[in-house]
Amino acid sequence: MESATDTATALSFRDATEADVDALVALIESAYRGDSSRAGWTTEADILHGQRTDPEGVLEVVRSPGSRLLTVEREGRIVACCQLEHRGAHAYFGMFAVSPDLQGAGLGRTVLAQAERRARETWGADEMHMTVISVREDLIAWYERRGYRRTGEMTPFPYGDERFGIPQRDDLRFELLVKRLA
């Protein structure tokens, strides 16, 4: 298990373990769904109800040999996470969550930079790919300011599969965003 500490902000980065699953599900849900998510700016509460993830989905990422769930702690509390998945020449970035009470202070930018560095160093990835719900213009703009570009490549939202939430509108789809790492 790899661990690194950023002494300037007292953050520690490590790969998640099975023991972290419940805390990670709670973090992800708090960042995207329900009233607690409204404390931050990444909420999807107005476009999706229901769950964002579940213990089985998080456990699958933790156990997958080509994937890691980077877990970020401050003072012993999990405050952020993101999935990195090795996909040949590129890495996939997903399941990104920052505690709503810490959003807007640069933690997300720090986690994203660490994820990009690890994808390059661990797998030799030359690009990072992610999908973002296309109507999330504020979130897409945040990624664009960090060097990601919109590709215009869309994939359908899994309507009818409540594991991904209950859509509150009928125009949801995912757009692929890409950033060159090398």
pLDDT digits (tens, 9 = 90+) for 90-140: 999 999 999 999 999 999 999 999 999 999 999 999 999 999 999 999 999
pLDDT digits (tens, 9 = 90+) for 146-158: 999 999 999 999 9
Q: Helix, strand or coil for residue 56?
A: helix
The neighbour count for residue 94, using CB atoms within 10 Å, is: 15
Task: State how far the Cα of 122 lies from the Cα of 176, in Å rounded to an integer.
Answer: 23
Angle between helices 55-63 and 21-32 (to 10 degrees): 120
- Whole-model pTM? 0.90
Taking each continuous run of H as one helix and of E as one strand, the counts in the chain are: 5, 10
* Contact status, residue 82 vs residue 110, Cβ threshold 8 Å: no
Instruction: Find, among 143, 53, 158, 42, the residue nearest to 100 by Cα.
Output: 42
Q: How confident is the model at residue 1 (pLDDT cuts 50, 70, 90)?
A: very low
Q: Helix, strand or coil for residue 74?
A: strand
H or E segment to which residue 5 belongs: strand 3-6
Q: Please state the domain extents for the chain.
A: 3-129
172 pLDDT more than 70: yes
3-class SS shares of the chain: helix, strand, coil, % to 5: 35, 35, 30
CATH assignment of 3-129, among 3.30.70.270, 3.40.630.30, 3.30.870.10, 3.20.20.70: 3.40.630.30
